[in-house]
Amino acid sequence: MAHAPAKTPHSAAQPPAGSACRCAECLAPLTGAQRGQLFCSPAHRTAFQQRLRIRGRQLLPYAMADRMTRSGTAGDDAARETGKSSRAVSQRLIAKWAAEDKAAGRMPMVDYVTRYAKHFDLPL
């Protein structure tokens, strides 16, 4: 098998420097952080991942219906309507969660994925 498991840290990656080296859940500086560390504590890792799990369950059906109907431009009339509604739901959920994260002082998801991708393979 040529591919490493998705969670294998990249051996050549360097730890994030400066303000990038913060907990994704509370933005506290990660002192003495190991390469690929994203959280200040197991509790914050659990909180972050549990929230993503719940959000994923809510978003996935709508994101897939959106994509599979090309945002409501493919399929029969019913599929197009479902696709349009699904796109609207996806966008509302994402906007709501981005605002919640900002208000709660969490790392923006773009920053989280950028940091995550420096140390772990993205699932493709």
Instruction: Catalog residues that contact Zn ion under the rule CB under 5 A.
Output: 23, 25-26, 28, 40, 44
Shortest approach of Zn ion to residue 40 CB, angstroms? 3
Nearer Cβ to Zn ion, position 1 or 103?
103
Residue 5 has φ and ψ, to the nearest 5°, of -60, 150
Q: Which residue is nearest to Zn ion (CB)?
A: 23
Nearer Cβ to Zn ion, position 46 or 91?
46
Shortest approach of Zn ion to residue 109 CB, angstroms? 16
**Which residue from 82, 94, 87, 80 is spatially nearest to 63, judged by alpha carbons?**
87
Nearer Cβ to Zn ion, position 15 or 75?
15
**How many CA atoms lie less than 13 Å away from 101 in the CB half-sphere?**
21
* Buried-state track 52-80, b at ≥16 Cβ within 10 A, e below 16: eeebeeebeebbebbeebebbeeeeeeeb
Shortest approach of Zn ion to residue 94 CB, angstroms? 23
Shortest approach of Zn ion to residue 95 CB, angstroms? 24
Contact (CB, 8 A) for 10 and 123:
no
